[in-house]
Amino acid sequence: MALLNPFTLGAQATATKRPNIVILLADDWGFTDVGAFGGEIATPNIDALAATGVRFSNFHVAGSCSPTRAMLQTGVINHRAGLGNMPETIPPEHLGRPGYEAQLNNRVVTIADQLRAGGYRTYLTGKWHLGHTPDTLPTARGYDHALALAQSGADNFEDKPNLLIYDKTEWSEDGKPAKLPTRFYSSTLIIDKMISYIDSGRSSGKPFLASVNFIANHIPVQAPDADIAAYAERYTAGWTALRNERRAAAIAKGVMPGGVAMGTMDTSGDWSKLSPLERRQRAGAMAAYAGMGTAMDREIGRLIAHLKAIGAYENTIFVFLSDNGAEATDPMAMSAFARWNTNLQYDQSIAQQGRPGSLTAQGAGFASASVSPLRGYKFTASEGGLRVPMIIAWPGNPAIKGGSVAAGFAHVTDMSPTLLAFAGVAPQQGSFAGRRVEPMIGLNLSPMLTGTASTVHPTDRPLGYELSGNAVLFKGDYKLVKNLPPYGDGRWRLYNITADPGETNDLSRSDPKRFAVMQDDYVAFAKANKVLPMPEGYTAPSQITANALRTLLIPRLLKLWPVAAVLVIAIAALIWWRRRRRRASPS
């Protein structure tokens, strides 16, 4: 693959000294979970990257993990990449339709494919969630080596799945089932393996792509004891106080406009009305969440320290982002069956929260604080689900103004073309290795890094998005959005998300012309990308339950069948013996 002219951000991107690329992808982090974005969670290593790089305060992803990962890897909208919906939330009648393969399809090419063809070493560790068969795992999609989790999440201390969704874990290494240590911690394991991959190829002299995909802070929320203990008393004031605190801090950090309006999240509940026991449980869950974030940050620091030790830090581009907003789902706040099943499978005592053997979740209340001052959270198309912290840093490049904030609109599909430009590798434009592929729709963000442009997206260019019936049309400063139940009422609304990122002022009536034009734009997007309407009565949470039952119940019943058969035979034998005995007894 031909190399481009040296990239304008300094002399690093030459054919002889092209930059390394490290992508640090967090799981389910809200907009203000990072210290540099206004959070109280200790994230000194991520904050240090922000101090040397640029924070993007208007950066958008998908409302859940695998659609974001597909767009990050390819620069192609999720419907064309095969992730029109996730395996866990897709209705059966959609599965296998064009764009709904529920895995990364063969019509797209990854950034790893392109960088490897351009002379890079390519490595991935952690969550993949874009396919689980040998032909859809990372080493079949451009990565030289990969330790990958094919599912949405797993236990962080042992090789155990989320037992409410999966029957077994699907960790693989280089396309084959992986043997994990008996005990480990996920963030440590992910960094250990990435360091070993980087070191194994150092003698080649080639630059590397390191895609580091944490499962922190996905459910189950788990962390080392010391990290949880550090936040033991931090959250006793509740989520409303924290939501207000973070709003003020986000303004002070420059990632939110002064005076930003903030709505009330009606799904979070009233902290003051909880019993003392409930408050203790919720504050403890948030302490575990914060501890998990700090543990992840510490591992990022360990990777950075290693790159400094081997002389690779200055010429490495770091990208930090979250795959979607904070997760509000909590099995212990759902149906009686969900609570019973969770208590059956896990130790759910308050003292055990976040520790081995527990299944801890942040819950809707503290999730509303994690996304402060935004509205909504994971799965929704509201800003709290789609707008996430993103940082790009290149420590040795003086053209990047350290500590600055880029407030213009940016999108996850922009990452692949941006990183390819940094690497001096010509991006695919509809063909790769002699075959036709979906062209990338993302744009190069480098003018936003140097401050020569506030955004690279033309104000008249619409960008559509849909997942599980929750839909968006971005255009300039404006956003057309609708959320299906249980996250909304299915009605379209219009917001200026530059002036009103908290989505507090619906402009659909006061700006009817724009509202109508953007609705037409969305219809055109949906038609061009073959977006399917959701089945009657569909909700993402109920579909997760239905899909889990379909994949778990039958296998578990089959496992129980031998026991059931023995019981039936034993009962039948007992009945036969008793009848025979009665017949043999004198009348």
In a domain, 7, yes or no: no
Q: Which of 239-253, 336-350, 563-577 has the lowest mean pLDDT?
A: 563-577
Q: Are residues 278 and 335 in the same domain?
A: yes
Q: What is the DSSP letter of 7?
A: P
Longest dimension (CA), the chain: 106
Pairing of strands 404-406, 54-56: parallel
Which residue among 450, 472, 502 closes a domain? 450
Pair (375, 496) in one structural domain: no
| Residue 215 · residue 156 · CB < 8 Å | yes
User: pLDDT tens digits for 231-289?
Assistant: 999 999 999 999 999 999 999 999 999 999 999 887 778 999 999 999 999 999 999 99
How many Å from the N-terminal Cα to the C-terminal Cα in the chain? 96
> Strand, helix or coil at 171?
strand
Residue 2 inside a domain? The answer is no
How crowded is the C-beta side of 142, counted as CA atoms within 13 Å?
25
Taking residues 448-470, report their average pLDDT: 97
Residue at 534 is within a domain: no
Q: Do both 559 and 445 map to the same domain?
A: no
Contact in structure between 554 and 167 (CB atoms under 8 Å) = no
C-beta of residue 86 within 8 angstroms of C-beta of residue 68: no
Domain endpoint, select from 427, 450, 473: 450
Q: Is the predicted pLDDT of residue 6 greater than 90, yes or no? A: no
pLDDT digits over 46-68, tens only?
Answer: 999 999 999 999 999 999 999 99
Residue 177 parent element (H or E): strand 176-177
**Same-domain status, 485 and 403:** no
CATH code of residue 506: 3.30.1120.10
Look at residue 427 and tell me whether its pLDDT is greater than 90.
yes
User: What is the residue whose two structure tokens read 């030289």?
Assistant: 144
243 lies in the same domain as 312: yes
pTM of the complete model beyond 0.85:
yes
Q: Print the SS3 string covering 76-89.
A: CCHHHHCCCCCCCC
Q: Based on C-alpha coordinates, what's the Rg of the chain?
A: 25
**Same domain flag for 471 and 433:** no
Residues 97 and 233 in one domain: yes
For 449-484, give the DSSP string: HHTS-S-SS-TT--EEEEETTEEEEEETTEEEEE--
Examine the domain organization and report whether 402 and 509 are in the same domain.
no
Q: Is residue 292 very low, low, confident or very high in pLDDT (cuts 50, 70, 90)?
A: very high
| Residues tagged active-site | 65, 129
- On whether both 304 and 438 belong to a single domain, the answer is yes
Inform me whether the pLDDT recorded for 572 exceeds 80.
Answer: no
For residue 4, is pLDDT > 60?
no
Average pLDDT score over the chain: 93
Asked if 382 contacts 483 with a C-beta cutoff of 8 angstroms, the reply is yes
pLDDT tens profile 491-521: 999 999 999 999 999 999 999 999 999 999 9
Is 574 domain-assigned?
yes
pLDDT band at 27 (very low <50, low <70, confident <90, very high): very high
User: What confidence tens digit (pLDDT) does each residue in 119-177 have?
Assistant: 999 999 999 999 999 999 999 999 999 999 999 999 999 999 999 999 999 999 999 99
Residue 107 lies in a domain: yes
Number of domains in the chain: 3
Which residue range(s) make up the domain with 383?
20-450
**Confidence at 559, pLDDT banded by 50, 70, 90:** low
Together in a domain, 300 and 259: yes
Q: What is the CATH number of the domain that holds 162?
A: 3.40.720.10
Both 425 and 470 in a single domain?
A: no
- SS3 of residue 62 by DSSP: coil
In this structure, the strands spanning 410-411 and 59-60 are parallel
What is the C-alpha separation between 513 and 515, in angstroms, rounded?
5
Whether a cis peptide bond, with omega within 30° of 0, leads into 486 is yes
**Inside any domain, residue 394:** yes
Does the residue 407 lie in any domain? Answer: yes
Which stretches of 376-506 are assigned E, i.e. beta strand? 390-393, 404-406, 410-411, 431-432, 435-436, 463-467, 470-475, 478-482, 493-496
CB 353 within 8 A of CB 289: no
Tokens linked to 337 = 């069956």
Tell the residue number behind the tokens 């956003």, with chain if given: 479
Considering the domain boundaries, does residue 517 fall inside one?
Answer: yes
Q: Are residues 385 and 258 in the same domain?
A: yes
